[in-house]
Structure 1
Amino acid sequence: MSHRHVDPDTLLLKMPSLRAVKAFVAAAKYASFTRAAEALCVSQAAISRQVRELEIYLDAPLFVRAGRAVELTAEGAVFFDASQISFVNIAQAAERIRNAPTDTQVLTVCCSPAFSALWLSRHIQAFLADHPDIRLNVITTQNFQTKEPGVEPDIVISKFANVGAGYKAFPLCHDVIYPVCSADYVKRHPGVATLEGLPDAALLDLSPYGRAGVAEHVDWRVWLAFQNIDIDERLPGSPPVFQANDYTLIINMALAGQGIALGWDQLVADKVASGQLVKPVPEHVTLRNSLHYLACKEDAANQQACARVKEWVMSKFTRRQPPR
């Protein structure tokens, strides 16, 4: 029988006693060794002993003792911020595991922040109401090619047909892109109702920076070029083009009447239908050479639940009739 040598784990070896940290967190939280002891159902001497052990380990005072009350030192405040967050994360993870219903399937869905905020948020409650035995854990990212360690999505909604081995992709829709703004903005700037006047408006532009996982990028320069308009020929004195890589921010600014954004139909169609946003011009651009996809993990233990989510999402896109 062979024994595999394991090198010393310096991180774990350097960790202080969790029992001592728990006593410290309680004392800091209640600003009292007595109250901390009551909260943890131990003696005050035990709290004092554990805190002293921690101070010796850290070689720093953690509390200033004034009568029955205690106050954190500067070193204690630094350690409390980190240890309290860590304890909260541990407690919440333990609670999720302890209380996870055995008859509920949890699916991890990975999508872009824009899809989550502008599409999923509108529909998810209806899905959960119709499928009470499925819980969705939504993780947003802009980089679908590099998954975070420990994150293995059951479903990925992205611009990529191939998101890794073991996934089968299903096409959802082409990108259909058109200008959108508030009705109030058109009233205040009637010139934007023509293609010629559109470039001179306050343009809200989706920046490519920080969006390495996007397959292609359509900004105002590209969209106007499809209309044979050069953005560099804007009138002198036109408002500067505002840029951000957060599409939700861009759309919220358009809703607030701060300018004109490019609207991706699958994300803004409901807002256009409700009148929250309007299309100042009828022109649109359709990217025929690229698609959005829903990819399902084929070897998932909960394939039936994945299939139900897939059918639900695809049914929403099948019913839609985007502009041609």
Structure 2
Amino acid sequence: MARNSQPDQALMKMPSFKAMRSFVAAAKYRNFTRAAEALCVTQAAISRQIRELETYLGTELFIRTGREVKLTSSGTTLFDAAQLSLLNIFQVTERIRREKSDKRSLTLCCSPALSALWLSHKLKDFFSTNPDVDLNVITTQHFLVMEPGINPDIFVTKTIDLRPGYLRVPLFHEVVYPVCTPRFLEAHPEIRTLEGMRRNTLLDLNPYGRSQLSEQVDWNVWFAFQSHDLQIPAAQSPHYFSSNDYSLLIQMALDDQGLALGWDHLVRHLVKQGHLVRPVTEELALRESVQYLMINEKKEDDPACRDFKDWLITQFKT
């Protein structure tokens, strides 16, 4: 039979998968015997694979010191790359295997803040009634630029023009109000007024890397909506901290380090539990800023997708 293409030299010269797996196990456990036990093979098999790999590379990968082994500089370089590559292969094959199994699986994409501050303490309720669903959660602040091959079944986002093929269900509009701990309020009673709040420690959300999430609402914007007389830049307050990591700001507020702006759907449970309080009644209702549930139309009738969609809608309604 005539050949249609030249041999792939890169693939032909690549070390065997079995040898790389043995090497990673030996490097991880620093002992050939423990590596053999982890892979359910003999110690001799591990030694042979390592020896063949070292011969192929023309350098030693381990320094043998009694029962333990240590990586050489070449071994360290190879381990850093090999471990990550093998983990990536494992994760991909597991995802494919799950997709072909009887167990139902879904991929959800949302912001890091929604994942950390809302989803993390809500999912136990979903799994208690849907133990047969595997959920893969991907967080991003860049909804418009997803990595190739990532096609979530469900999005929760304000970015409605994601891509063709997704159905849109409105969940809620955003409401923003100041929050702090009861201890911080007790120590700073002046923050019961807008002016006193303006002169206190403000934990601010900056826009870096967030352009695809929404319009920016920071302390200056929030104060401007409350009173045109409060126009001193937030950065000129006695103590000011800024970050684009919203979860960090809320954690700092929980640690009594200042005032943060609380998005109601993210901090409501913390207020209800008494971990945070609202020092003033003023709030900013962003009725045009709506969070949507975006569903891949190909999965609209999928039982797992339908159950998760119904659960999400119920959670936000309550």
| TM more than 0.5 | yes
Offset at residue 271 of structure 1 (A): 1.3
Instruction: For residues 263-311 of structure 1, give each alpha carbon's deviation from its aligned partner in whole angstroms, at most 9, with x where no partner exists.
Output: 1111111211222111111111111222110011111286232222112
Q: TM-score, normalised by structure 2?
A: 0.86
Offset at residue 205 of structure 1 (A): 0.5
Instruction: Give the 3 Å change call, closer, same or farther, for CA 285–103 of structure 1 in structure 2.
Output: same
Question: Are the aligned partners of 1:162 and 1:169 in contact in 2 as well (CA < 8 Å)?
Answer: no
Question: Are the aligned partners of 1:16 and 1:54 in contact in 2 as well (CA < 8 Å)?
Answer: yes
Helix, strand or coil at the partner of 1:232:
coil
Q: Following the alignment from structure 2 to structure 1, what is the Cα–Cα distance between the partners of residues 239 and 129?
A: 47
Q: Following the alignment from structure 1 to structure 2, what is the Cα–Cα distance between the partners of residues 123 and 310?
A: 14
The reply to whether residue 22 of structure 1 matches residue 12 of structure 2 is: no
Aligned to 2:41: 41
Aligned to 1:272: 271
- Correspondence list, 1:206-217, <5 A: 206-217=205-216
Counterpart code for 2:120:
S
Aligned to 2:193: 194
Question: Are the aligned partners of 2:154 and 2:294 in contact in 1 as well (CA < 8 Å)?
Answer: yes
Aligned to 1:76: 75
Instruction: For residues 185-233 of structure 1, give each alpha carbon's deviation from its aligned partner in whole angstroms, at most 9, with x where no partner exists.
Output: 1111111100111111110011111223212110011111112244426
The reply to whether residue 259 of structure 1 matches residue 258 of structure 2 is: yes
Question: Are the aligned partners of 2:169 and 2:293 in contact in 1 as well (CA < 8 Å)?
Answer: yes
Q: Following the alignment from structure 2 to structure 1, what is the Cα–Cα distance between the partners of residues 202 and 208?
A: 17
Aligned to 2:142: 143
Q: Following the alignment from structure 1 to structure 2, what is the Cα–Cα distance between the partners of residues 315 and 34?
A: 53
Aligned to 2:178: 179
Aligned to 2:219: 220
Aligned to 1:123: 122
How many residue pairs align between the two structures? 314
Offset at residue 134 of structure 1 (A): 2.2
Counterpart code for 1:23:
S
Question: Are the aligned partners of 1:200 and 1:235 in contact in 2 as well (CA < 8 Å)?
Answer: no
Instruction: Give the 3 Å change call, closer, same or farther, for CA 235–114 of structure 1 in structure 2.
Output: closer
Q: Following the alignment from structure 1 to structure 2, what is the Cα–Cα distance between the partners of residues 205 and 107?
A: 34
Counterpart code for 2:183:
D
Counterpart code for 1:21:
M
Counterpart code for 1:41:
V
Offset at residue 135 of structure 1 (A): 2.4
Where in structure 1 are there 5+ consecutive unaligned residues? 320-324
Instruction: Give the 3 Å change call, closer, same or farther, for CA 51–283 of structure 1 in structure 2.
Output: same
Helix, strand or coil at the partner of 1:242:
strand
Offset at residue 124 of structure 1 (A): 0.8
Helix, strand or coil at the partner of 2:109:
strand
Q: Following the alignment from structure 2 to structure 1, what is the Cα–Cα distance between the partners of residues 190 and 86?
A: 57
% same residue:
49
Question: Are the aligned partners of 1:177 and 1:284 in contact in 2 as well (CA < 8 Å)?
Answer: yes
Offset at residue 33 of structure 1 (A): 5.1
Aligned to 1:322: none
Aligned to 1:232: 232
Counterpart code for 2:186:
K
Q: Following the alignment from structure 1 to structure 2, what is the Cα–Cα distance between the partners of residues 217 and 314?
A: 26
Instruction: For residues 150-204 of structure 1, give each alpha carbon's deviation from its aligned partner in whole angstroms, at most 9, with x where no partner exists.
Output: 2211110001222211100111111111111111111111111001111111100
Instruction: Give the 3 Å change call, closer, same or farther, for CA 198–14 of structure 1 in structure 2.
Output: farther
Instruction: Give the 3 Å change call, closer, same or farther, for CA 14–248 of structure 1 in structure 2.
Output: farther
Offset at residue 139 of structure 1 (A): 1.1
